[in-house]
Amino acid sequence: MKYLSAILFTVSLALGYLPSSFRNLSTAGVFDDDYDLMLDPGRIPEIEGYRLYTNLSNLVTGLERPFVNQSVNYFLLGGSGEFMKHRYLGLIFDNYSLNDPLPTGLFTREGDTIFGDGEVVNTQWLDTDGDGSFDYIINDREHRSAWDRNRELNFYLGLAFGKDNRFGFGFIHEDDRLRNFDPQVNYQIEREESTLIETRLTYLKGDTLTTMDETNHARNSIIFSSWFGRESAFNLSLGLGMIQSDSLTEADGYYFEDRNPGGDTLDYVKISSGDTFHIPYSGFEIPARIGLLKKRTGGWESEYYLDFRYLSLGVTGDGARNTISMVDSTCRPGTASGYDSITTTYSGKRSGYTVRFSTRQRFTLSKRFAFGFGLSLTNSVLTDELFDSTAQSGRYAYDDGDGVSTANDSTVTYTEMEYWQKKTTSVVRSISIPVGMEFKLIEPVTLRLGARHTTTYYDVVTTENLKGFDPRKTRVEYGDGSYSEWIDDEKLQSGTREEDSPTTHKTDYYYGLGIAIGKNLQLDLMYFNNLVNLANWRLSATLKF
């Protein structure tokens, strides 16, 4: 799980659209195309002509499968080109909105699943005294909600100028909001019982729970990139990204039973509950790059990059979880009421850096064949530290209803607290060696092949420490003025530590096709391993002018 966390952390920094082109993906990252150049604002001037990206470009996830109409329904528009002399523009915009009804767990009379908001009403007619006529009726109503609601809005805008020396400025906006309504925690259940003899309600029960899970991510980044020279070029890039991440859960529940609705006699139980969980992170990242590109004789092209990225995210002041449950009930005899409350406050920080040295060496050996390889050395250090302070308290009062305050009436209060520190330090080092080639099968079809071997060394240390606690202290105050207090014995697991240092070896293989249809259309294909089944084929189409 911790490796996954480290990976998620890395992925979370990725763009809201495909980070590289189909050509780049098919050759294990060795060969770029215009799309890759556009995402580096300093290299937009290197794109010859104009490009138009549409939904056919499949640049949001790269996973859309147009031949079976399997899509995540993004709207995408983008392109690049020179809009004034030596002034260039690159743009990608995608938008996505989903309101997906899910199975509620309820069924129609025919046994079909009800999706979205569903309601089922059941009625029972009973002849309790067996006299041949109904004398009792029970109505049950159940309503459940099940939805996924997702909205994404991303765009990239790059502006560049220059020719031999090129300067680019880019702005990236990403916004992703996901809401989930789980039918297990979004329901309304009611029961109503009536006697037909006296035509009156005899029992009412209601159980309502509304829970909303929401996850929000937003990032606004600027990046400045400059390239000096053409055949032999030097690159300097610097960026700043502001990041916000938010997890929010809000639950409200109410349960009641009234065993004599409308009657003078009160016999009931009412339970209210609420649960709010909120951990907002905000912070920044600073990416920087120094690069060198050298075009040598004989079709040999070399690239060298040194990347550095620093990240710092902190829990903002309102990171908290509040849980409360209140009960009010009649007893036999008397009444009881009270509450339990749990409040957790969070503070902490995620921070770390990544340093990567990488190189790519490409060789155009003939008009029909190009070959390349690379090397990437990465060192990443991330520290994720979270403090949570959980305070629990409660109060219950019992009154035996005899109208006098005696030792039989009591009020119980309790408090307890724990303060924990959880810290994960991840050091990830990897060596990656990609190789790729392009082979022009026939004009204009190019076969692409790629492979990448990656060895990754993990060093993950997770510690949990109890920093302090107050044991549960209970106080009972009796109606006669006396009281009693006690503290519970404590047996706590006060700390854990886990160290894991696994090493993984992985080799990935890639393949693809590039088809230039005339001067104005470029088709790129991946996942066509089954030539007669187009279902898995991924297609990207780019218009050129």
- 3-class DSSP state for residue 10? helix
Shortest Cβ 202–another protein spacing (Å):
5
Kindly tell me which of 184 and 496 has the beta carbon lying closer to another protein.
496
Binding letters toward another protein, positions 3-42, x by CB under 8 A:
----------------------------------------
Cβ contacts of residue 492 below 8 Å, gap of 6+? 418, 466, 469
Of 510, 339, 469, nearest in space to 414 by CA: 339
Residue 135 near residue 195, CB atoms below 8 Å: yes
Please provide residue 488's backbone torsions phi and psi, each rounded to the nearest 5 degrees: -80, 145
Q: Does 487 bind another protein (CB under 8 A)?
A: yes
- Cα gap 370→316, rounded to integer Å: 51
Residue 215 near residue 247, CB atoms below 8 Å: yes
41-76: string of b/e by CB count within 10 Å (b at 16+)?
A: bbbbbbbeebbbbebbbbbbebebbbeeeeeeebeb
Kindly tell me which of 122 and 484 has the beta carbon lying closer to another protein.
484
Of the candidate spans 69-77, 363-371, 465-473, 524-532, the one that interacts with another protein by CB under 8 A turns out to be 465-473
- Within 266-285, the residues that bind another protein by CB under 8 A are 267
Residues forming a β-bridge with 343:
322, 391
Q: Does 497 bind another protein (CB under 8 A)?
A: no
Q: Does 484 bind another protein (CB under 8 A)?
A: yes
- Cα gap 148→182, rounded to integer Å: 9
Residue with token string 């390349």: 372
Shortest Cβ 487–another protein spacing (Å):
4
Cβ contacts of residue 10 below 8 Å, gap of 6+? 354, 380
Kindly tell me which of 191 and 294 has the beta carbon lying closer to another protein.
191
Q: Does 482 bind another protein (CB under 8 A)?
A: yes
- Within 177-196, the residues that bind another protein by CB under 8 A are 193, 195
Residue type, 19: P
- Cα gap 538→529, rounded to integer Å: 11
Kindly tell me which of 126 and 517 has the beta carbon lying closer to another protein.
126
Shortest Cβ 327–another protein spacing (Å):
15
- Cα gap 154→170, rounded to integer Å: 13
Shortest Cβ 259–another protein spacing (Å):
4
Residues contacting another protein: total by CB under 8 A = 43
Shortest Cβ 240–another protein spacing (Å):
33
Residue 34 near residue 82, CB atoms below 8 Å: no
Q: Does 366 bind another protein (CB under 8 A)?
A: no
Please provide residue 368's backbone torsions phi and psi, each rounded to the nearest 5 degrees: -110, -5
Kindly tell me which of 179 and 205 has the beta carbon lying closer to another protein.
205
Q: Does 298 bind another protein (CB under 8 A)?
A: no
- Within 408-427, the residues that bind another protein by CB under 8 A are 417, 419
- Cα gap 452→435, rounded to integer Å: 6
Residues forming a β-bridge with 274:
252, 324
Kindly tell me which of 115 and 203 has the beta carbon lying closer to another protein.
203
- Cα gap 91→39, rounded to integer Å: 9
Shortest Cβ 310–another protein spacing (Å):
24
Of 439, 461, 464, 463, nearest in space to 449 by CA: 439
Q: Does 465 bind another protein (CB under 8 A)?
A: yes
Shortest Cβ 248–another protein spacing (Å):
30
Residues forming a β-bridge with 275:
251, 323
Shortest Cβ 30–another protein spacing (Å):
44
Q: Does 473 bind another protein (CB under 8 A)?
A: yes
Q: Does 206 bind another protein (CB under 8 A)?
A: no
Q: Does 134 bind another protein (CB under 8 A)?
A: no
Cβ contacts of residue 228 below 8 Å, gap of 6+? 164, 165, 234, 235
Q: Does 402 bind another protein (CB under 8 A)?
A: yes
Candidates 3, 470, 479, 527; binder of another protein (CB under 8 A) is 470
Q: Does 128 bind another protein (CB under 8 A)?
A: yes
Total Cβ atoms within 10 A of residue 160? 28
Kindly tell me which of 15 and 461 has the beta carbon lying closer to another protein.
461
Binding letters toward another protein, positions 97-126, x by CB under 8 A:
-----------------------------x
Candidates 264, 489, 491, 532; binder of another protein (CB under 8 A) is 264
Candidates 333, 368, 517, 534; binder of another protein (CB under 8 A) is 333
- Cα gap 244→339, rounded to integer Å: 35
Candidates 197, 242, 377, 534; binder of another protein (CB under 8 A) is 197
Residue 116 near residue 106, CB atoms below 8 Å: no
Shortest Cβ 269–another protein spacing (Å):
8
Of 1, 73, 22, nearest in space to 446 by CA: 22
How many Å from the N-terminal Cα to the C-terminal Cα in the chain? 48
Please provide residue 91's backbone torsions phi and psi, each rounded to the nearest 5 degrees: -150, 135
Q: Does 202 bind another protein (CB under 8 A)?
A: yes
Kindly tell me which of 251 and 391 has the beta carbon lying closer to another protein.
391
Q: Which residues of the shown chain bind another protein in the complex (CB under 8 A)?
A: 126, 128-129, 136, 193, 195, 197-198, 200, 202-203, 257, 259-260, 263-265, 267, 332-333, 402-404, 417, 419, 465-471, 473-475, 481-487, 494
